[in-house]
Amino acid sequence: MEMNYLLKLENICYSVDDSTHLSKGGAKKIILNNISLNLEKGKILGIAGESGSGKTSLAKIIAGINKSYNGEIIYNFSGEWKRTKTNPVQILFQNNGEILNPLRQIESIVEETLRIRHQTKNVESEKEKIFESLNISELVRKKKGYELSGGEQQRAAFARILATNPELLILDEPFSAQDPESQLNLLNLFKKINHEYKITMICIAHNLSILNKLCDEMIILYKGNIVEKSSTQELFSYPKHPYTKFLIKAGNYSLNYEELSATKWKDEENNSTIE
C-alpha cells in the first residue's frame, strides 16, 4: 500500500513578496499554507477553488517549475524517465495555441519528442498509437500549428505530452472556454488516457461539476489552504466545509445576493498577509 503512491506532499508552504498596488508593500503574501496530500498511482485528483486560491501555484510546485517553496515533495516514479531528457511530470496548459510552434507540422513535433525521449526505435508505431488514441486524423497530423482550431490545438499539445510518456499529468483548466460538446469529448479522452496509458492525473478547474465526472479524489483550496479533502463521491454527496457547499451552489448559479455577501469568501485584501 505504502509504495502505491506516486506523489506525497508534506507541509508545502509558499509565499511571495507582496508589493502590488493592491496592498501594503513589504509584506509577505501566503500563497500556499501547509499543503499535505498523498496521490495514489493511477488516480485522478481534482483541485478546485476560485481564482487566487493557489491552484496553479501548487501545480507549478508539483511540476518542479517553482522550487522556492518550503516543505517536502516525495515522488515515486518508476525510473525509466531517468535515462531520458524529458520530465515525468507534464502540464497541459490552457493556452495551447500560444505554445505550439505555428510553423511546424504536428507530426514532426510529436516525432521529435519521441526521438528526444528514447533512441529512434519504435517511433513510427508509438506515434501511430498516440494519434489514434487522441483521434487525430491523417489530415490534422499534416497541419501546422497555425492551421489548427482550438480543439485541435489542445489535442496536438496533448499528443506531444503523451510522446514524453509522463507518469504524472497536470491538466490546468482544460475545460474553461470549451463548449459543452468539446468538454464532453475532452472528459472522455482524459478518462481513456488515464486508463490506457496508466497516467496519474491532477486536474485543476473552477468548474466543480466536471471534476465530479472525472476525478477519484478531490481537494478544495481556499486562499492557499486545503479546506476539504475526500473522495469525489463523498465530497459531492456530503460536502462538509461551508466553502465547499458554497462552491457547489455557485456552480449551479443558485446563490442569492445574501449568500454571496454573507460569505467570508470575498477577496478581503491582506487577509492572508503576515507582517
Specify whether the CB–CB gap between 11 and 41 falls below 8 A. Answer: no
Show the site string, 157-176: x = touches other proteins by CB under 8 A, - = not: -------------------x
Cell of 76: 515515486
Contact status: 210 vs other proteins (CB under 8 A): yes
**Quick one: 163 or 205, whose CB is closer to other proteins?**
205
Contact status: 20 vs other proteins (CB under 8 A): yes
Cα distances (Å, whole numbers) of residue 214 to 39, 183, 207, 248: 15, 11, 11, 16
Contact status: 246 vs other proteins (CB under 8 A): yes
Query: Distance between CA 63 and CA 90 in Å, rounded?
Result: 7
Stretch that binds other proteins, among 74-82, 106-114, 132-140, 261-269 (CB under 8 A): 261-269
Contact status: 207 vs other proteins (CB under 8 A): yes
**Binding residue for other proteins, selected from 133, 182, 225, 273, defined by CB under 8 A:** 182
Specify whether the CB–CB gap between 160 and 109 falls below 8 A. Answer: yes
Contact status: 244 vs other proteins (CB under 8 A): no
Contact status: 252 vs other proteins (CB under 8 A): yes
**Quick one: 2 or 181, whose CB is closer to other proteins?**
181
Q: How far is the CB of 230 from other proteins (least distance, A)?
A: 20
Stretch that binds other proteins, among 69-77, 189-197, 225-233, 245-253 (CB under 8 A): 245-253
Specify whether the CB–CB gap between 72 and 10 falls below 8 A. Answer: yes
Dihedral of the alpha carbons of 116, 119, 120, 121, in degrees to the nearest 10: -130
Q: How far is the CB of 259 from other proteins (least distance, A)?
A: 8
How many C-beta atoms lie closer than 10 Å to residue 244's C-beta?
A: 21
Contact status: 254 vs other proteins (CB under 8 A): yes
Dihedral of the alpha carbons of 244, 64, 4, 132, in degrees to the nearest 10: 90
Spell out the residues 6+ positions from residue 240 whose beta carbon is closer than 8 angstroms to its own.
228, 230
- List contacts with other proteins (CB under 8 A): 20-22, 50-51, 149-150, 176-184, 187, 206-210, 213, 246-247, 250-257, 260, 265-267, 269
